[in-house]
A and B are shown apart, each in its own frame.
Chain A
Amino acid sequence: MLGLGADRLRADMNRLLALLFHQGVLDEQFLQLQQLQDETSPNFVCEVVNIYFHESEKLLRNLRGLLMERDFSDYKKMGIHLNQFMGSSSSIGAKRVRNVCVAFRAASEQNNRAGCLRALELLENEYCYLKNKLHELFQIEQQRVLAAGARYPMQN
């Protein structure tokens, strides 16, 4: 029964991943990330993604802070933040977040403040969705590991 639990959880993970790929939330780069994980770094994907979350939230705060300034005009600074967000998003396979960053950068290059504000809202939504889904994925993975461990208990 415990074995079935681990297998069912693995199926749940695969289903969720397939959904995220189908929705374009993740792309092939996420698989590349998973392939880097090995016995020397068994939590590599989770660690990288948590760093990504931490850095992304800083960038989102910076972007919102810039756009909320009354006399905002530093589109160059905004471009720097966006380039960084684009780079890290593409590195973990966060395809939709990256694509919104591209649109955001286009608005920024046109000094289009209203466009930037709309893009920021969209970016915050996309990021929120991605974060929730990846947390869900990692939770299922954690449960699967526990279930698999219970199936094969350590021998004394």
Chain B
Amino acid sequence: MSSNNTENWMKDIGVLDHPSGVGEGSTTSAATNITALVVDDDSVNQMIHSKILENLGIQNQVVRNGKEAVDLHSSGNNFDLILMDMDMPVMNGIEATRKLRAMGVRSIIAGVSTCTRDEREQKEFMEAGLDDFQEKPLTTPKVVSILQKVNKKC
């Protein structure tokens, strides 16, 4: 995807940090003011999801399971967007989402999971406090559709 397409998307959803008025040293033409957290135990998905966000100009961090996500928030960090995998060791996405909501975290939390035939599990995930659910594989268009919710919520 060309950087022009990325910029157009970001402008369309109103999250592009317009460079006019920014002093010298501004390096990216598609920088945004959105922050994100990738919560996934799989190294391949961590790398891909982080790169999707990076290419959209979104500063992001990566953690390996729900507990690390909760601990990060407990130590005062917060993010506009959390991409939460469902199946993870130590603490899964359902439990982590519940805990984060109970802590008062109001970020957009998008559940991300491999296609599951267990509708009950997906329902439980949504009811834990998700704002959105996307089936893997995650793609740039899917993340943009989630970001439109960030923009509306902010």
Interface on A for B, CB 8 Å cutoff? 29, 32-33, 35-36, 38, 41, 44, 47-48, 51-52, 55, 80, 83-84, 86-88, 90-93
Contacts and interface: CB of A to CB of B under 8 A. Distances in A.
Contacts of A86: 114
Interface in B23-58: 41-45, 47-48, 51-52, 55
A150 B87 CA distance: 48
A29 to B, nearest CB: 5
Contacts of B47: 47-48, 51
B87 A83 contact: yes
Contacts of A41: 51
B48 A48 contact: yes
Nearest to A27: B137
Going nearest first, the 5 A-B pairs with the smallest beta carbon separation are: A88-B44, A87-B114, A91-B137, A90-B137, A29-B137
A80 B4 CA distance: 40
Interface residues of B, number: 19
Contact of A83 (B43, B114, B138): B114
Given A36-B51, A36-B52, A87 B45 contact: yes
9 contacts: A29-B137, A48-B47, A55-B43, A83-B87, A83-B114, A90-B137, A91-B45, A91-B136, A92-B44
Nearest to A48: B47
Nearest to A52: B44
Nearest to A82: B114
B140 A32 contact: yes
A90 to B, nearest CB: 5
B90 interface: no
Nearest to B5: A35
A90 B114 contact: yes
A131 to B, nearest CB: 14
B18 to A, nearest CB: 22
Contacts of B138: 91
Name the residue in B3, B44, B52, B140 with the highest tally of chain A Cβ atoms < 10 Å from its Cβ. B44
Given A80-B87, A87-B136, A90-B136, A33 B114 contact: no
B139 interface: yes
B1 interface: yes
B128 to A, nearest CB: 18
Given A32-B139, A51-B44, A91-B138, 7 more contacts: A36-B48, A36-B55, A38-B3, A41-B51, A80-B87, A84-B87, A86-B114
